Each structure stands twice: as structure tokens, then as C-alpha cells.
Structure 1
Amino acid sequence: MGENESMVRARAREPRRGRRRGLRGLVAVAAGLALVAAGVGLTTINSSRAEAGVLSGFDPENIISDSVMFDGDTMTASEIQTFLNGKQPSCTTGATCLKSVKVDQPALGANLMCKALPARKGQTAAQVIAAVGRACNVNPKVILVMLQKEQTLVTGRKPYSGETVSLIYRKATGLGCPDTAECDPAKYGLFNQLYGVAYWLVRYTTPPGTTGPGWTAFNWFPVGKPVGILYNPNVVCGAKTLTIRNKATAALYYYTPYTPNAAALAAGWGGGDSCSAYGNRNFYLYFTTWFGGKTTYTVSGAIGAVWKDQKGSLGSPISAATSVKGGTSQRFEQGTVYSSSAGTFRVSGPTLTEYLAKGGPTGSLGWPRKAMKTRTGSHAGTAQGFQGGTVYVSGGRTATVTQPIYKKYIATKYELGRLGYPIADVEKVGSNLQQRFEHGRIMSGSKGTWVVDGASLDMWIRRGAEKGSLGWPTGDARTVSAWGKKGVVQDFTSGSVVTRGSSTRSVTGELAKNWRFHGGVTGALGWPTTVAHSSTANGSGWWQRFSRGVVHWSPKGGAHALASGKVRTRYEQRGGPDGQLGWLLQSGNDRTGTGGTFAVLQHGRVYSSRSGTAMMTGPILTRWLKKGGTKGVLGWPRGDAITSGGTTIQKFEGGRITQSPSGKVAASRQR
């Protein structure tokens, strides 16, 4: 059963014929063109005729096709939100910010123009646009353009003098705002404006049931018959005879009943003359700039098969098929289809943006070889394979993974593994490559491709990353069992990172070389137990402790290890490198005689055998060495030197050495 016009007007009032206005009268639209220009990436509003090239395809009799205008499923709420975010990345204080405004959606019953809408609180503008578009079967892109051409809401603007942000939203699409009178308060409100513009664009086509008593006959802009359309509300400016070719174009004229004159068309995005009106010109400019043209293109072959299969999501073609070396491509409203020997696949959204930035089919990625797939992990994402790599999109990031890193990424189970999604493209580091992922990095050099993550990555970054003390990885992290303990070791060109339990240590530089020479964690020194320490005593140097020893490095002595035992204990009792003995110069086993261990230090020595453990310094050490040391007649020391009454005596297996108060040193055999 039909619905009379008075019933409809309670929800969406009819704009008054010939009197609807945009910002503040059609002639004044040019005053806002700086904002218009900013919205589409132009930097000036100059009215030079050189700008008219953007209007080369404008046809006042066919501004937009029926199939494009009356397609309510071209954009989802998410896609609309992304579009709005892109057009107004930041929101200036006091300006309109359509991307973040919220509005309540009331429950509306079905009518002859639109399906029913449920009540929903706190909806974003994107959600309302998508809902209204579906309900009334009006392209959300058309609604977005109407918001922009009427109030510059998509790109945002600050209020003009006397306006407020709330007032701008109340007349968002210009509905009920004639050129010669104040706006109708009954039509105020962002929801009313969005629903109303969709409703009336459909209503102007005279759907079945909207004729007869109680209904307005929209017949003054007939399709297929010549009709005069004014250039401006001022009738003195004259009119142009047009034969409107479709209902969608007629609907635009019912909404804004003026056609651009020659000056408006010659001006491109700029201002024309005093008789210019810009509403339908600007509609065309925004729609074609943002979403492509209105021309009908042929779709066939393999591309046609994909388009037919995905028509609902690809939208209409916006270009003819183009041959590129190795294949063919064709652009659609919501993506591009590429066909080559690798197959025929759609590429769209951020993946398409990334692909085109890398040169498309002739760039580093080559042709697509797989369809886009939804991926899972810690959060949702997509992946699409190309001949030269795979593009991942997740969490607002887009990144391409290429060989040889991709092979390693496969081995870690893609985003399902410990690395997660890539968060940046491959970057070159000197002659090497690295790529960052959510939870680690893959690094590739001449000796292989390795993963660095977890505690190893944290330590590597703290040590200065690739320019730091560890250098480049030379292998993956590996689990090692040694000396009754288990841990993880990862080697780098200039050191290693060792994790055991909650403790992570790095061993670098000359200390690392000596530790590795002795077998690393599985060798004589075992696990690192401290960080490397520096000291300026005795000429300066570095030392680091391990579970079974210590490694010292000094500029004069180089790097040397001292295993745990009595020699190390006595040395550290005497202050270690900061004490009277200074830095380690040599250590080892001496199998002479009874046999034992020793450490050669800057200012003395420490020996340990079955006969005892002793520190030796000064003239007594010198005399003992002249006597042959452990190989001489005196043999191994039996303890430290003892001083009594000014005389110092140190005993050995085969005798003693005495230093008198005067400094005279004498050795005597044991009797």
C-alpha cells in the first residue's frame, strides 16, 4: 500500500524546488574553495583555465550513472571510517570532525524509498552512512560527496563567522536549506540530514507507488526530454537546454537545480563569475577525484571471471583493461584485478597501496600469485603473495616480506609463530638485511639468515643493535645444557647472549673471544654469571666472571682466563685486578714435579700444588725464577712469604728464600 507525501515528510522533508542552498548561497560557494582544494590534495584555488582539465569528462546530461548512484553496498562502515580518517588525519580544535562525531540512530519503519532501520545509540557517522546507504540503496560514496560539497565535512572545516560546529552538523547535507530563506529546523540533525539525502535521491526517481493523490510529481527535470536548467538562482543569468539521460543525474538537479556555466567549468576547482553555480560541478569533481569516473567499461576474460565472482565487493570498473609486460590489469571501485601467467587475482585496500608504491607488476613484487587471505595470530590480518614477496596488513600496518627473509619467516610458522606480523619493510643495514616483526627480527647476512627475538633481542638492542658491541647474528638462538644447567645461547660476530632462567648476560669483544676459545658455556669456563666490569687500576682493563672461572683483558696483557680454584681464590683475596697483583697475564697447569696450577700477573704470581697455595712478589719471586722456578732445586712454594722482625722468608719444597731487612736476598737448600 502506498504512503502519501505528508506521511513521508515527517521523516525526510522535501527540499524546496529551485530554492535549496549549499553553504551560504550558491554564488558564495567559491569562498570555501580553499577548503575544497585541500580536501583533494590541491594547493591553490586559482581560477586559471589550466585547471579545467579536471572537468574534461564532465557531461551535464550524465553526471553519474544510475548503476553507480543506486548501489548501497559499495562501502562498509569500516571502509567509510578508513576513508574519513584518511581525508582528515588530525582534528583541529573547533573544527568539524566527521570521523569522530557520534549520533543516535532512531528506529524507522520501511517505506517506498528505504527499508526499515533499527534504533542504535552512539553510532559513528560512518556507521550511519553505511546503514542509510543499504536501507535506501544509495551509494555511500554519493552521500560522502554530498557532505563535502555542501558543508566540506569530509575534509573538515572551521565555522564561518556566526556559525558553530553544531550548526554545521545540523544542516550537514544542505537538506531543507533554500537559497532565499532560513533553513527548516524540522530537518536539523546529522541523522536527519544523512537519511534525508538518501531518501530524497531515491524519491526523485518516482519509485512505484509514489504517484497519484498525495504525492508530488517530480516531472520538471524529465529523463530523455529537453529541459531548460538555470545557471544560477538569478534568472537574469539564463539557462541551458539539456536532455538529462538518467534518473541519477535528474535526482542531482532536483537536489541542486543549477548547471555550471562556462566560467565555472573553465575555472576547474576555482571560482567562475557572478552567474556561476558550483553544486553539480563540485559533485562531479569530488566523486571522480575520490572514486573514479562514471564511464562504462568492458570487463572480460579472466579478469571478468574474477569480477563476476567478486562483483559485490569490487564495485564497478573505473578503467579499461590495460596491458603491461607479462599480463593485464583493470581497475575497479574497490580494487584492481591483475592477470598474468601466475594467475588472476584481486588486489585491494592497503595491500594495493603498498603494491603500487613498489611499482606494481613492473616493480620488485612482480605479479600477484595468490588471492588475499585472512590471517590469524594475536589479531586478525591479511596476506597476499606476489612473485617477489608477500604483503601483510594487520593492526594498521602494511609490510612486505621478501626472500631470503621470507623463507625464514615460513620456518617460524608465519604470524602464528613467535614473531607475529611484520611491522616494517625489509631494510638494508650495510651489506646485510633485516626486517622487524611484532616480537622480533629476522636478520640476513652473507653467512645466513637468523631470528633474533626475546631476551636475545632485548640485550642486542641494549648493546647498540647492529652498530653495538655484539655485531650481527651468526646463528639462531639454541638451547644448551652444560654443567648441570640449561639455557639459551645466541652467537653474534663479536659476542654472545646467554639466557638462563630470568637472567640474560652478554659476553663481548676480547672477553668473548677468550671465553669461546675455551669452549663457551660447554667449555672450561661455563656460564657467564656477571656483566663485564671495567677498572682503571693497574693500567685499566675489563673482566667478567663465569660459573667456572673469570676472563681478564688489559691493553698490555690481552685476554686470559683463570679457572675457579685455589689460585683464583688467593688472587681475588689479594684484590684481583684492583689489588697489588694487577691484571692477569697468563694462567695454566704446570706439570713439573708435584704439578699444580699457576697465574702470572702484572706484579706477581700465584701458584697452587699439593704443597700449598702461595702468592709470590718482588725480589723473592725474582730469585726463585732465577733458580728455575718449579723446575729448579727449590720446587713449588709451600705458602705465602712470612715477615718477622724485618726478615721475610718464603718456604719451598726444596728449601727457602730469605730477604733481610737490608734487602739482601738469599736462597738455601733444605737440609
Structure 2
Amino acid sequence: MILVLLQKEQGLITNFNPTADKLKIATGYACPDTAPCDAKYFGFYNQVYSAASQLKRYTEPASSFYNSKPVGVRSPILLHPNARCGTKLVKIKNLATHALYIYTPYTPNDAALANLTGIGDSCSSYGNSNFWEYYSYWFDAHANLSSEIDDQGDAITSDWGTLIDDSSCTETANTCSADFDNAVATWNIIAGLKYVTGPIATKYKSAGGVSGQLGTISRPTETINGGSNGDGSRQKFLNGFIYRDPTDATFIVLNDVFLYYSETGGPSGSLGWPTSDASCTDGNCGQDFAGGYVMSSQNNTFLVLDGAIGEYLQANGGINSPWGLPLSAAETRTFGSFGTGRIQQFENGTVYEKDDTAYLVADALAAALADVGGVEVVGWPLAEPVRTGGTLSQLYSAGRVVKVGSEQGVLIPTDSLKALRLAGGMSGYLGVPTSNAMEYKGKDGYLGSKQAFEGGTIVRGPADAFAMPDALWDAYLTKNGAKGKYGWPVGNAKSTSRYWTQSFQRGSIRVSR
């Protein structure tokens, strides 16, 4: 009410360089129509404070003014300071209007109402009609929205459909929003009329409209040239954009991701059109695009995750994936004969990407990997880590790296993995490895290997690698192992209810279980 009063009396809201004379009688307080203003109340602060206090007093039941022009009653209101112009009955609907008609005790006559922006007749007064005009334009969003929509004409609004809901257009609403079958229209004093139609309107509604994550409508729809990625359109909202791709699919791009997206060329750039809505958790956002996955963090850093890394994230929750958030950009690395790929640091470990696969080496396995020489020795990971009880392992080009509790990491070479699998894996009789494979030379001069496990040994000879339990291994060693009369194993150990049996180059050994 005070804002409108300042504008109605001296035009101070829209005057950016008011004179001292206007400021000293800003609200017209103590300025009767029939006498000069009282200098005791001069000054902007004095005027605003006095007017606000007086308006408040008018609404207090103990005030002598309270029963003058009471709420809910049709009261005679003067048309002009000249009493001979007469009165008109006005029904006062609320205390604010009650206070207004005591502060400015005149109501416009028919001549004034017929010419709101001009001059009526000698009995016309304009104080409250001017107040109504400013208040309606600034605060009656519903009336302004309806008027603006009517002004657009059928050429614009014919495809909007039926009005569904305009309940947000309350007297105190900063922005009035009307929901139609195929459109959403909004109005406020600063932006005026804004509207969104078609598939973008459908998406906007599904995102909560004005009260949703996008906020109010900012700009009209614009056509976007996507180059070789095809053309589409987009529309700007307070907190982001809705993009409509060449297939008419629509996706939300929030402002923080948009800034980076636009720097890469937008739909015509390497990322192409969005393929999902933005997803945000605790200030971190991620979004799928045709050319990769974009992440933004709370500290406004952005990363494009493409290739197999991006595909994994797109399929596994993005910013909520098991990898956690990325901590650096991907780097190209070459590991000798194992070839070239990329590595990237994430919250929960390091991701290794080779060709069309990407796997995390969890922090818990990093020390074990280092124990066996790192990826320079074992090559690229070929699968995600596997935890079984207290054992953590992961398959690499050169074999399986195993971490048992707090023990040092051990590598089971690739050519021993088949024997391990046929023996029941690490949950079978062999158990987990207790050492790395060591060179083991036979009587024939062949250089093979042996690797100890909790319950046995894997021996690799000229035929292949084969597993044997401790009982067979001990018996084998009593005959000098590969240097003895039996030579190298040629098959895995077999068991019955009573015996272990295993074949060798020159015979077989049987021991009790």
C-alpha cells in the first residue's frame, strides 16, 4: 500500500531523480486539500513513517476512525473536496480499503471513471482512481494476464486449448500463472506476458511449472541449428532450459550444466542433444548427452565423460554411480605391450578404460595392485572387483590380483586360472593364494612355475597348469617333484570319498584323503 501511495502522490517509484520538493511530501501526509502541507511532517522518512502509522491507526478498533466507513457496509463517500458535488455509496470490503478511504476520502465520479487516463469534470477527483490504476497494474496479476492473453489474438492462442487452472493468480502473487491444455502463460510486472506451448509446455508442466525446478518463463521459444545433429528448439526459464530435439523429445538442462554445454557448442557440438534430464544431488549435477555424460560439481568444475567411461555412468546412476564423483579429467596412458587406454580418478578409486570397456580399481585393491607391480605388470583390468568374504580380487590382462585381508597382494597368472576354476575356485579345496607364482624347473629342463595356496599348489608345466591338494603335493615332493620320476602333472587332481589321484607324465600318484 505504501509503494502505491508513494507513486500516486508524487510518482516516486518510477521517478529515478525526484526533486527535494517531491521527497519532502512523499506520501502527501498532513497535506489537506484545503490548506498548505504541515512543515512539521516534511522529509521522506517523516512522511513514510507518519503515513504508515496513521494507516495502521485507522484499522485499530480503539481508534476513533475505526467506525468511520466500516468494513462490509455501504458508506457515503465524497466525490470531491467541494461537498456540493455530492457523495456515492461504496461498499468497503476490507480494512486496507477502509484505511485508504479515510486517508484519501474521495471516490471518482462517473466522469472520472469514464476517462481513467484523462480528465473528467469539475466534480471529478483522481486520488483513489489513480491508486486503483497503479495497484491493479502492479499487483492484480490475474487481470493483467487475462488482458495480455486477449491482446495476443486467436492467431497466437487458438492452439492453447481450454484453461485448466489459474489458482496461482492470487492478489499477493508476484507471478500469475495460467495452465491451459497445451500451454502455460505467466505474467508479472517486470517480465509482462510469457508463455510456453506444445511439447516444451508439456515438459514444463511435468517439471512443476512456475513452482518447479525451472521457475518462471524467461524468453520465447527459439529455433536451434544442431548442424549434423539435426535442428530443434529450446526455451529459457529462470533456472535453465528445455531443449526439444529433432525427434520432438524434450529434456531439461539446468543453468550450471548449460554454461559448460554452450561452451562445447551446444547441440551442434561434440555433445549433441541432451538425452536425459539433469539430475542433481547435494549440489552435484549430471546429465546424459548423445556425445557423453556431463558432470558439474559444487565448486563449478565441469567434466565431460565420454567413451566407455561415459557409457558406464549413463547406465549406472551418473553422479550416484558406485564409482562416486570424478576427481580429474581422463588421461591417455600406454602400458607397454598391453596397449593404450585412459585412466581417470574417481572418489572410490581409479577407472581404467581400454577399447569399449571401463572398470574401477577400488581404493581397497590399489595397494594389492601395487604389490604385484601395478598395471605396467598385470595390464588393464578386465572386470569389476569381486569380494568374497574377506577376499577382494580383480581380473587383469595378466591374471587375477587377490587381496586377502591385510595381507600383501598376490597375482594368479592367467594360465593358472583354469586350474583354479576346475578346483572350485578360491572357495574350493585350494583356498586363496599365499604367494605369487615362482619359477619351477623340471628334470627335462622345462621352466614352469608353482604357486602355493592355503590348501594346495598349482603347478604349470609343458602340458598346462594343474592343481593338486596339499596331500598330493607332499607325496609328489617326496619323489622330487617335477625333477623326479613322475615328471610334470598332465591333469588336475581327482577325488573319491577315500583318495586323491593325479596323473603325471610318467605315472600317477594316489593318496588318502
TM class by shorter chain equals: 0.3 to 0.5
The TM-score with structure 1 as length reference comes to 0.35
The TM-score with structure 2 as length reference comes to 0.43
